[in-house]
Amino acid sequence: MESFESQASSRLNEGSEQSQDSLAYFFARGVCEMRYETLPLKAIEWAKMGILDTVGVTLAGSNEPCATLIAKALSLREQKSKEMERAQASVWGHKVQCSDLDAALINGTAAHALDFDDCNNTMGGHPSAPILPALFALAECRPLGAQDFITAYIAGFEVETKLAMTVNFYHYTKGWHPTATLGVFGAAAACSKLLGLNVEQTATALALAASSAAGLKANFGTMTKPMHVGRSAKEGLMSAKLAQMGYTANAQNIFEHQQGFFEVFNGAPNYNRQKALDHWAKPWDIVEPGIAIKQYPCCGSTHPAIDAAIQIKLDHAFEIHQIKGVRVWIHARRLTHTNRAQPNSELDAKFSLQYVVLRALIEGRVGIHHFEQEHYRDPRVLALLPQVEALAYDDQMFDPSNHFAAKVELTLLDGTVFESHVLQPHGRTSANPLSAFQLREKFELCAQRVLGLDGVRLAYEWIDQFEHQEDVGALGRIFWNHLK
């Protein structure tokens, strides 16, 4: 059988005027061509890992105020019924049902509430959280099989990451939140695939999504950041549903128009459309560089420094009162939003390089509880925060092409200096993945915040056999029936 990659190469570049002139049609053709049977096994394996991780962190974030306040604003209430209605989707972690659009919004926000959801180097953000809540919301409202679900997920992942290639890292550095501004296209593509839309409809859905692309980094460290993701999930789903109904949008040149996505968000010459054309499915981004599964529930830009700090804690014996000063080096692009010497909330602490490095040095770990109940006000930490210097590394310290390295230098009062550096945080790419044990441990840690032990076990076993499930909506019913 001819591989998907060769099919894509021949069909997407066979001279169609639309595919040559419009990136929306190029993506739409690629999405519509996708078949589960021709996907690489590695892509399916990584999709299952992304699903497991996203489900876990969404459950863990389901009681966070950023998600529950949205449900309150929508006037959604707990239900007394023991059974779920098939025509509605559920708000995970609660006995609440609503429209698929509202579920995508709330669950999408919950997925990013703890900043514990997966990342991707190409995207410069979080690829799964904008997509999967929308797909699960659809699946709870109508019978949908897992193989179609996986295909749709990979399709959305490929669209958002290949679009990222065209605009990053100027887009990222400028101040846009790529998880939202690009994730909305991933959600639209994925939902279009799961709904079985044709090329014209899928291109229209992408054009609709372009007018919903939004998210500013100035709102990092607040509830608005996770809401970016929930809105992307909802707007992507809305775009696909409207396109299915015949809604119109400028699919012909929504990206290329002089007032289209590329010019408005990046501006010439800060994008390269050709990169998407050249790299579609070569390789699949979900395989390489792959999904970065987070070990710590805070901004991914801080993770290499946390790894380095934990290594110092493991290798050397010292007490907190012996610390004189700490210096931390990360990439300049990542220092911009993590150089927060005095975090003023739990959410702000998730983006404080100084805070998380101190936590790692003091305790040898960084966990969910470190961003709850005002732990950021720990007197031991507050006393040391002014002694932590955050710096951008230069080309002599690390390869300039590596934007995920870090170095930590700890100086004690007696002049002793300990240092450690990492080139990539553990789990950051498919070449350096977390183990199956670590993945399950993280899922169970997250899920048990809202599910009983039987529910955690059943959910894990169900997802472990995900590709064989005939009704994806059944997962929501497991949650419904096993809430604490």
pLDDT score of 86: 78
For all residues of the chain together, what is the average pLDDT? 94
pLDDT score of 401: 85
Three-point CA angle 272, 164, 29, nearest 5°: 85
433-464 pLDDT, tens digit each: 999 999 999 999 999 999 999 999 999 999 99
**Residue whose token pair is 């990046």:** 266
Give the CA diameter of the chain.
Answer: 72
Angle between helices 132-141 and 224-245 (to 10 degrees): 50
Phi–psi pair at 187, nearest 5 degrees: -65, -40
pLDDT score of 313: 97
Q: Tell me the C-alpha distance between 193 and 30, whole Å.
A: 10
- 264-269: average pLDDT: 98
- 117-133: average pLDDT: 97
Domains annotated on the chain, with CATH: 4-290 (1.10.4100.10), 300-422 (3.30.1330.120)
Looking at the predicted structure, is the pLDDT value of residue 477 above 60?
Answer: yes
Q: Tell me the C-alpha distance between 232 and 130, whole Å.
A: 6
Phi–psi pair at 109, nearest 5 degrees: -65, -45
The torsion region of residue 271 among left (phi > 0), alpha (psi -120 to 50) and beta comes to beta
Burial of 369 (0-12, 13-18, 19+ CB in 10 A): exposed
pLDDT score of 10: 44
403-436 pLDDT, tens digit each: 889 999 999 999 999 999 999 999 999 999 999 9
Per the CB < 8 A criterion, the answer to whether 4 and 38 are in contact is yes
Name the residue among 53, 37, 59, 56 with its Cα closest to residue 291: 53
- 249-257: average pLDDT: 98
pLDDT score of 21: 72
Looking at the predicted structure, is the pLDDT value of residue 1 above 80?
Answer: no
Region of poorest pLDDT, from 7-11, 34-38, 367-371, 409-413: 7-11
pLDDT score of 19: 43
Region of poorest pLDDT, from 232-241, 284-293, 344-353, 392-401: 392-401
Count of other CB atoms within 10 angstroms of residue 465 = 10
pLDDT score of 20: 54
Looking at the predicted structure, is the pLDDT value of residue 83 above 90?
Answer: no
Helix (H, G, I), strand (E, B) or coil at 421: strand
- DSSP-assigned letter for residue 113: H
Looking at the predicted structure, is the pLDDT value of residue 40 above 90?
Answer: yes
What percent helix, strand, coil does the chain show, rounded to 5? Answer: 55, 10, 35
Count of other CB atoms within 10 angstroms of residue 423 = 13
307-324 pLDDT, tens digit each: 999 999 999 999 999 999
| Strand arrangement, sheet containing 417-422 | 388-392, 323-330, 406-412, 417-422
- 318-340: average pLDDT: 96
Length reported for the chain: 484
Looking at the predicted structure, is the pLDDT value of residue 210 above 90?
Answer: yes
401: tokens are 């092409």
Pick the residue with more confidence: 431 or 83? 431
364-405 pLDDT, tens digit each: 999 999 999 999 999 999 999 999 999 999 999 998 888 889
Q: Tell me the C-alpha distance between 233 and 252, whole Å.
A: 24
Looking at the predicted structure, is the pLDDT value of residue 5 above 50?
Answer: no
pLDDT score of 13: 44
